[in-house]
Amino acid sequence: MDNCLFCKIAAKQIPATVVYEDDELLAFKDINPAAPVHLLIIPKQHISTLSDCEEGHAALLGKMLALAPRLAKEHGVSVVYDAEGAPTRGYKTLINSGPDGGQVVYHMHMHMYGGPRPWKGMH
């Protein structure tokens, strides 16, 4: 898409703090973070919303979701267990779809939030 912000970031036309990249995905830091760790995971292929995904996108969606725990670990927010086996730390993933879903940039993307709470505007 000619005027898509995330397509321009994926094409290196707009700078971003990239934390992961392969042939299909790009992950970078959000420029207006809502949490101590706030990353965006995008497919390089332009897909406007999650609602535009088809069965053929299943592997790409799975790859996006599978990347989240790896990035959480790299950024120190993965779930770990204390001496009694209770979980500590953690992160949240979110895909907004459409205007009522809170989507602002119409290039499908997954947010990964983590770090000590409270986070801005998050429950």
Q: What does 33-82 look like in DSSP terms, one character per residue?
A: -SSSEEEEEEESS----GGG--GGGHHHHHHHHHHHHHHHHHTT-S-EE-
Say if residues 88 and 82 touch (Cβ distance below 8 Å). Answer: yes
Residue 23 CB neighbours (<10 A): 5
Q: 3-class DSSP state for residue 10?
A: helix
- The residue from 38, 75, 107, 109 that is catalytic is 109
Going by the DSSP 8-state scheme, the letter that residue 96 receives in this structure is -
Q: Which two tokens stand for residue 65?
A: 């979701």
Say whether 109 is catalytic. yes
Q: Which residues are catalytic, by number?
A: 109
